[in-house]
Structures are given as C-alpha cells and as structure tokens.
Amino acid sequence: MNSLLVMGLTILICGLSFFKPIVGVFVLVATSWLGAIIPSEGVFTLNRVLGIIVLAGILLPQLIKRGKSPIGKFSTLEMLFAIYFMVIFLSSFYSFSNSSARELLLDVVTGFLLYFLIKMTVVSKTHLENFVKMLVVISLVVATYSFYAAQNADPLSKRIYGEFQVNLAGTICYVGIVCALWLSVAKKLPTLVAGIISMVLISVIFLSGTRSGLIALLSLAILFFLRILLTSAKRGRIITILALFAIGFFVSVKMVQSAFPLAVERVFSLTSFSISNPASTDRLRVDLINAAWLMFLDHPTLGIGFGNFNLNYGSYSQIFMNKQLMVHNIFMGALAETGILGFISLMSIYIYIIYSALRALYLQKSDPGIFDQWFPLMLFVGVNIVLAFLLYGTFDRLMFTIFAINMITLRNQQKNFSQQHQEIGD
C-alpha cells in the first residue's frame, strides 16, 4: 500500500512538473537541498528525473511554436559561466581517471542546469515571493532534523552530528534567516514570526559548531546596517527587525550554550585564531591554502586538474603528508585546479554579479518590495563569498540557486527601469 502511494505521488509530481514547470522547480530545489542533508536514494533518483522532466516541460512547448527560441538569449553571466565551464572541461582532462573529480564535474553541470531552470520559471513577483517562502520552509525542516540529530549527541562534543552534514545545515539555515528577514521587510511575513524563525535557525548554526556561520551572520548584520544608513525605505521596520534579530542571536547562544557548551565555544574560538598548533583547524586551513598556491606555481596555466586537489594535497602539505582533503576555499581551489585561466574566469563571474548588484542598488526605487536587491546581495555575500571562501571547494547547487535569485531580481529591476524610461518617453 505504501509503495503504491509513493508511486502515485511520484507520477503526480512528474506530471505536474511537465505541465507546470515551476512546480517541478520548487520540488527540484527542495529535494536537492534536503537530499544533501538527509541522504535518500529515492530522493536522489526523483531529483534527477525531475530535472529532465522540467527541462522538457520548458523546452518542448517553445519548440512546437515555430520561430520562437526555446531558450532565449544568453545573459552576460551565462556567457561568463560558459567560459568557466570551457576552462574546467579542459582542465578535467588531467583528472579524467579520478572518479571523485568526475562526480564534482557532474555536480557543477547539474547545478548550472538548476540555475537555468529556476531563472526560466521564477519570473513574476508572486513566483519569487513563493520561492523565498519555500526556502524558509526548507531551512525549518533542516533545523527540525538538526534538533532531532542533537538529541542523542554527546553534550561535550564540538561537532555534535557525526556524519551529519553540519556545514551544509548551517548554510541552509543562514539562507533561511536572510529569506525570513527579506519577507518581513517586504511585509510578506509578520516581524515577530521572522524574529522567531531567525532565532531557531541561528541556534542550528551554533549547534553545528561552524565558525564560518558566525562570519556569515556578521556579514549579514553589516549589510543590514548599510541598508539602514543608505536608504530611508522602511527604515523603522528594518531597525525593529534588526533589534529582534539581535535579541534572537543572544537567546540562541544562551540556549545552545546550556546544552552544548563546547559547540558554542568552537564557534566563538574564531576570536583566538592560532596556527602554532599543528593539529589545530586554523593551522590546517593555512596549510591547505599554501598547498593550493604551490600547486598553482607548478601548474600555472590550467592547474593540476579540476577536482584533483584532494589527490595531490599530501604531496604539497607541510603537516599532513598522507591525507586527502578538499581545499575549503573556492578561490584558491580554482587557482590550484584550473590555473590562472580558471581563476580569471571565476573572478569575472563574481565581479559581474557584484557590479550588477551595486548598480541595481543605485537605481533601486524607494520601495521595491520583494525585488529589494539588498537581500539577494546578503545571500550572495554570505554564501557565495564568505562561506565559499571558508568551506567550499567548487560551486554546488545551493550556490547556483543564490546566483539564480540574484539574476531574477536584477532582471526584474531592469524591466521596471526600462518601462519607466518608456513611460517618460511617451
């Protein structure tokens, strides 16, 4: 009976995804993020099948209409991504025999496909609002699972979840915090509810013991202050939200500290950075960066091969000669694995996004609502810059989702700006 129910539900989701691609994209993002936290072969298979079905649902109707391009024009960002992909494909010839490198390459390609599907389907204000709401729900599901995983954890452990993906859980909860605050400022979510959600999600960041999560929260607070200083739109509401956020932060710290003191201590150990102890995490991070730099010096043009850092780390490490570790820094990883060509193509993506976001903030109207560019920028800085610098080795689906959100808000602002100029001209 249960298997028939699951099969029927799967068929229903696939059918809806073909005829209503936006439904498929929502399920695709949800299964992609939750599947990484709660591994399930069924969720993984559904995710891959949904990607193909949603793509077919988008492209086939356009192909039937004669003379209409199924994809449309590529944006500047997509052209920059194409250049980046060309470089990593060239670099991957060095790592073709490495199965983990092939999996990383597949993850990057499917991540870009997710970016494309989100951008093609989330087109209106309502779509974006519902998409952001869904991300908040996903983060709350992750938080619930995190609290469940913490029940049987050792209170004196710094990393309470064992094999649980603590870094990814913290990242998803950071996204949920920004999205809850975003909806509150846009008056799509009560301020008190946004404050309570933020408190719950901040607790997960401290439960996970991830110091990078604290740095991401600091970047969020700085951008909030800039939002207050540089614009008068909804300033009073934002100050109220920021006050609730601060209260939630301190309550979360106290709550988690009473149950898992060493996890909280690990987060705040950021203030006592030390590389003198060879066994410390700080010393390891410095060694990873140094190894990446040495790999780049040996292979400056196309690097040591996309996804090959872990296999070669032991040969370049000064303290861990026999270990295979990821670089934990997407920028140094690009330099080591794809050389100067990959690093330049990667940085061009970041420069374009930052330039476009700053230009959008300059042109932003006093009350942009859900298209307020400040909040996609908070997501981009917190995840695709801060956490990418401290945690990631290459792009993943979550990062591509943030890229898509930024491009959706930029695209809609450009449309509004063009319409305003046409009305003035008329």
| Model confidence pLDDT, tens digit, residues 190-216 | 988 988 899 889 888 888 777 888 888
Question: pLDDT-derived band of residue 328, with 50, 70 and 90 as boundaries?
Answer: confident
Q: 131 with 122: CB under 8 angstroms? A: yes
Q: 137 with 201: CB under 8 angstroms? A: no
Does 211 share its domain with 173?
Answer: yes
DSSP classification of residue 74: P
The per-residue pLDDT for 342 is 92
- Which residue did the predictor score with more confidence, 61 or 174? 174
Q: 156 with 262: CB under 8 angstroms? A: yes
Kindly state whether residue 81 falls inside one of the protein's structural domains: no
Q: Is 97 helix (H, G, I), strand (E, B) or coil?
A: coil
Rounded to an integer, the average pLDDT of 384-398 is 85
Does 315 share its domain with 258?
Answer: no
The per-residue pLDDT for 330 is 92
Please give the structure tokens belonging to residue 384. Answer: 């695709």
Kindly state whether residue 78 falls inside one of the protein's structural domains: no
- The domain of 177 spans 129-272
Does 65 share its domain with 96?
Answer: no
DSSP classification of residue 152: T
Question: pLDDT-derived band of residue 73, with 50, 70 and 90 as boundaries?
Answer: low
- What share of the chain in percent tops pLDDT 90? 18
Kindly state whether residue 240 falls inside one of the protein's structural domains: yes
Matching residue, tokens 């298997």: 3
Rounded to an integer, the average pLDDT of 228-256 is 78
Rounded to an integer, the average pLDDT of 373-380 is 91
**d(C-alpha 21, C-alpha 95), whole Å:** 35
Highest average pLDDT, of 80-84, 156-160, 359-363, comes from 80-84
Does 13 share its domain with 137?
Answer: no
Kindly state whether residue 79 falls inside one of the protein's structural domains: no
Among residues 240, 217, 219, the alpha carbon closest in space to that of 228 is found at 240
Residue 28 has pLDDT above 90, yes or no: no
- Which residue did the predictor score with more confidence, 326 or 409? 409
Does 257 share its domain with 362?
Answer: no
Does 314 share its domain with 341?
Answer: yes
- Residue-wise pLDDT for 292-319, tens only, equals 999 999 988 888 888 888 888 888 877 7
Kindly state whether residue 378 falls inside one of the protein's structural domains: yes
Q: Which of 272, 290, 315 is the last residue of a domain?
A: 272
Instruction: Tally the domains of the chain.
Output: 3
Q: What single letter denotes the amino acid at residue 379? A: L
Does 101 share its domain with 156?
Answer: no
Does 149 share its domain with 115?
Answer: no
Q: Which of 220, 245, 272 is the last residue of a domain?
A: 272
Does 110 share its domain with 153?
Answer: no
Does 102 share its domain with 170?
Answer: no
Q: Which of 255, 272, 289 is the last residue of a domain?
A: 272
The per-residue pLDDT for 163 is 47
Does 315 share its domain with 409?
Answer: yes
Rounded to an integer, the average pLDDT of 75-91 is 88
Kindly state whether residue 335 falls inside one of the protein's structural domains: yes
- What share of the chain in percent tops pLDDT 70? 74
Among residues 199, 198, 207, the alpha carbon closest in space to that of 178 is found at 198
**d(C-alpha 348, C-alpha 266), whole Å:** 35
Q: What single letter denotes the amino acid at residue 110? A: T
Does 289 share its domain with 422?
Answer: yes
CB neighbours (10 Å) of residue 279?
Answer: 7
Q: What is the mean pLDDT of the chain?
A: 79
Q: 146 with 161: CB under 8 angstroms? A: yes
